[in-house]
Structure 1
Amino acid sequence: MTILIFIVILWYGGLFFQTFFLHRYAAHQSFTMSKITEKITFVLTWFFQGSNYLSAYGYGVMHRMHHAYADTEDDPHSPKYDASVFSMMWRTKNIYADINQKRIEVDEKFTKNVPQWQRFDNFASSSFSRISWGLLYFAFFLYFATAWWQWLFFPVALFMAPIHGVIINWYAHIYGYVNFKSKDTSKNLLPFDFLMMGEGYHNNHHKHASRANFGGVRWHELDITYKIMQVLHAFRIIKLKPITQVVRRDV
């Protein structure tokens, strides 16, 4: 039971900071926060993502490229141009690393105002940090695992962020329903997105990329992350930008 609780905490903790900080803040800037709060959020992202830590700069730039080139040959991740989910994720990893380490030239429109704390990123993305987290996870499993099958969750803990990426970047471009006609293959993966905290409303998001609320088009589309963001806004921890009401058109 302890292992399952641990995995749930890692799943939703890492996922929240991925969608809240890396996606809605770094890539789309759907809200603002102070520089102090931003730095605290960098650290919290590292704490909850652990061995899976993703840089706000690398993620933010790559995700903007995904929207600009969705389902074309220039898309960093697309089921249309990769033979398998594994080849897509390997290509994504390489593009992310090239962006983050500035090994390739990137158009200024993709880098403008993307938050970066390079010194912290260098530490959080280092082999030392990733291996240290991996050893901590191993020690936790060694102490609390009470059955062999619980060790099946160990690689999930190590590679949780890539698993989150696979669910959205691969499966949410293949399965699900659409609210809006789109030039790409984005779909809403689940009617009620309990699994991905709103990230699964991918078709909604591709239609209205800068909108903080990914759900709300149909009555059952509850974006859990957005509800948390509304609480943070009420306590003046962040400041949400005004969002427009969207109306679904039959497709």
Structure 2
Amino acid sequence: MSAEAAAPESPPGLSPVRPILGATRSNWQQGLVWAFVVAPMLALLATVPVMWGWGLGWYDVAIAAVFYVVGILGVTVGYHRHFTHKSFKARPWLRIMLAISGSLAIQGSVMAWVADHRRHHAYSDKEGDPHSPWRYGTSPTAVAKGFFWSHVGWLFERRKTNYERFIPDLLADRAVRRVSKLFGLWVAVSLILPAALGGLLTWSWAGVLTGFFWGGLVRTGLVHHVTWSINSICHMVGRRPFRSRDRSRNFWPLAILSMGESWHNLHHADPTCARHGVLPGQIDISARVIWLFERFGWVHEVRWPTTSRLTKLRAR
């Protein structure tokens, strides 16, 4: 599919139709993408021999778990439901904290992530979608190629999504722009802090190394692949209880690790809804976090699902 093709009208809230793609990444920016995609992936592959050789301490598990939860909730609650879809409004301080915690997942700055995701919804599984698994067709070879593209291949595209078209609201937000420009700092914090905690908890250089490996690289790799699986698996495998204009599906095995994002079919049927897991037994941790924020008075105007809305969206 060519991303320069004629585009449909932008969804409500986006600027008038403009080119989908914007600036091109420089060579060093492209190099950083390769580094932060490949290094955590290699760390994941190395976990078995590392555990076999010199074990995994409880402090490593604790550090990795804390940074995993903070980072992935920053993406699911912050980057996705708040900044991309405006499922709720947040107090200014919480808005900044959500942008920073999402940055700790090392999936790109808040502005880049939101621009790509809004573009995905504008063209979901059609020409212009940055990561549809169906871009090459439906033959076995095309599906395999499409899966790789939607899971990780699209990240290496040098052309960026057009910010002026897809995120004019964030471009006008000085605080969000500042957090986005400091993305390199948040990446450093995300990798250095687990190492520092490992060293302090064990008072050893070995603790620094294992904290960096498990809490930095392995945790980042796991966050990456869980998130990327929503792009790939959740557009290929699973049930479709709600009507949507694309091939989005629910994939229950990822519900806990993705904090509720794998209830992807309802999300595409009703993108601004603050809860994705709306049927009995569908655990949605991100929605529960938003509910807690609402109870504390930190967020308001939450777009919770209604019975009438869900009835209208059910597949016939």
Same fold, TM exceeding 0.5? yes
Mapping 1:133-212, distance limit 5 Å: 133-137=190-194, 140=198, 143-144=206-207, 155-190=217-252, 193-212=255-274
Distance 2:253 2:130 in 1: 27
> Which of 175, 181, 206 lines up with 1:122 in the alignment?
181
Question: For the residues of structure 1 that align with 2:296 and 2:89, how far apart are their CA atoms?
Answer: 13
Mapped partners of 1:44, 1:152: distance in 2: 18
Q: 1:79 aligns with which of 125, 133, 145?
A: 133
Partners of 1:6 and 1:117 in 2: how far apart?
27
Q: Render the CA deviation track for 1:97-118: whole Å, top value 9, x for unaligned.
A: 724xxxx4652xx224235622
- State the 1:168 CA deviation: 0.6
CA contact (8 A) 2:63 2:215 kept: no
Partner of 1:58: 112
Q: Alpha-carbon deviation of 1:93? A: 5.1
Q: Deviations over 1:127-146 (max 9, x none)?
A: x6535643554563863499
AA in 2 matched with 1:249: R
From 83, 92, 96, the counterpart of 1:39: 96
Cα distance in 1 for residues equivalent to 2:314 and 2:186: 47
Answer yes or no: is the 8 Å Cα contact 2:194–2:215 preserved in 1: no
Q: Which residue number corresponds to residue 91 of structure 1?
A: 154
TM-score (norm 2): 0.64
Residue of structure 2 equivalent to 1:67: 121
Match of 1:28 in 2: 85
Question: 2:301 corresponds to which residue?
Answer: 240
Q: Distance in 2 between matches of 1:61 and 1:9?
A: 27
Contact 2:266 2:277 in 1 (8 A): yes
Return the index of the structure with the highest Cα Rg. Answer: 2
Residue aligned with 1:98, SS: strand
C-alpha change, 1:70 and 1:12, in structure 2 (3 Å) is same
Q: CA deviation at 1:188?
A: 0.6
Structure 1 gaps, min length 5? none
Report the Cα distance in structure 2 between the residues aligned to 1:92 and 1:207, rounded to whole angstroms: 25
Aligned residue number for residue 34 of structure 2: none
In 2: Cα distance, 1:153 partner to 1:136 partner: 9
- How much has 1:85 moved relative to structure 2? 4.8
Task: Note the C-alpha offset of 1:154.
Answer: 5.9
> RMSD in angstroms over aligned alpha carbons?
3.1
- Number of residue-to-residue matches in the alignment: 236
Distance 1:222 1:68 in 2: 27
Which amino acid counterpart does residue 206 of structure 2 have in structure 1?
A: Y
TM-score of the superposed pair, with normalisation by structure 1: 0.79
Judged with a 3 Å threshold, the aligned counterparts in structure 2 of structure 1 residues 161 and 122 are, in CA distance, closer, same or farther, namely farther
Look up the match of 1:228: 289
Q: Which runs of 5+ in 2 are unaligned?
A: 1-57, 137-144, 200-204
